[in-house]
Structure 1
Amino acid sequence: MKRYTKPIHLPRAMAHRAADSSLALINVVFLLLVFLLVAGTLKPTLPEHFEWAETSSGTGNGSIQGSLVLVRSGEVWFEGERLEAAQLETFLQGVSDETDRLAVQVDKRAKMEAVAALADRLRANGIKHLTLVTIEADGP
């Protein structure tokens, strides 16, 4: 009787590799970077010494994204930069092509004449719905 044999190959046990902790650190740093990028784009920068105007009642439905900022001196700012008269006109023409709504963040020390002048300028450029962004006062 003939015997047939086949060689059996058993895999060798590989040495256990230690887990590489640098991969977890890279993931954490990447997630932190993404968080900071998103958090930095949520709120536009305001001019120095800006104080929010306060309101005692009402409901808010405006967005501060893409809004103008009217400061105490009557200057208009957009995304952290002061706009000259010509720059403001160019900005308003571009915005009025896209929408007829605009929000303005108002400093509580801004004069009413400056608010009215800005509202007139917005109306002349086709903005029909103006939202003044304020914060809610603590109480009466």
Structure 2
Amino acid sequence: MLRLSRPLPPRQREGTIALINVVFLMLIFFLIAGTLAPPMEAEIRLIETVMAEQTELPHTLFVTSEGELREGGRTVDPASYVASLKAQGGETEGIEVKLAADRELPAVRLIDIVRALRESGADKVSIITERSTE
């Protein structure tokens, strides 16, 4: 007489493994798709415009209402800021500066700052504004 072993009962699979996989994939997706931006300077209120393109704020040079240039919470001058951009990118041409100025800054002072940035080697200076709700 031939004895056959009984088949083992199917192993119960836990549903938590699938949930962990889904959460892990979502985490990877949001890390790749999302961007982290440094916080904006607290005391700067941006200039308002009606029609403006949406942009991100990383690597933005902030200008206070008194005309003080700030980057990452520290005061900088136009020449050293442009030099740091050149050092970071390793480029000497095509340097773009994103400038976020306080709305109380006089336009004449803003023009002087843009001129100083251009003379320091910036090829393009973009003014970051806030889109008006009106």
Aligned length: 129
Query: CA deviation digits over 1:92-113, x for unaligned, max 9?
Result: 5536725243221222223334
Change (3 A) 1:62 1:28: closer
- Matched residue, 1:48: 42
The code of the aligned residue for 1:23 comes to I
Cα separation, 2, equivalents of 1:137 and 1:28: 40
What is the SS of the residue equivalent to 1:44? coil
In structure 2, list runs of 5 or more residues that go unmatched: none
Deviation at 1:84, TM superposition (A): 2.9
- Matched residue, 1:132: 127
What is the SS of the residue equivalent to 1:68? strand
Cα separation, 2, equivalents of 1:90 and 1:44: 20
- For normalisation by structure 2, the TM-score amounts to 0.66
CA RMSD in angstroms comes to 3.4
Cα separation, 2, equivalents of 1:97 and 1:66: 17
Which of the numbers 81, 91, 94 marks the counterpart of 1:99?
94
Deviation at 1:53, TM superposition (A): 0.9
- Tell me if the contact between 1:62 and 1:131 (Cα under 8 Å) persists in the aligned partners: no
- Matched residue, 2:60: 67
1:82 aligns with 2:77: no
Identity among equivalent positions (%) equals: 23
Larger Rg: 1
Deviation at 1:137, TM superposition (A): 1.6
Cα separation, 1, equivalents of 2:32 and 2:73: 20
- Tell me if the contact between 2:85 and 2:95 (Cα under 8 Å) persists in the aligned partners: no
Change (3 A) 1:10 1:72: farther
Cα separation, 1, equivalents of 2:59 and 2:4: 67
- Tell me if the contact between 1:77 and 1:83 (Cα under 8 Å) persists in the aligned partners: yes
Cα separation, 1, equivalents of 2:4 and 2:64: 79
Deviation at 1:70, TM superposition (A): 1.9
In structure 1, list runs of 5 or more residues that go unmatched: 1-6
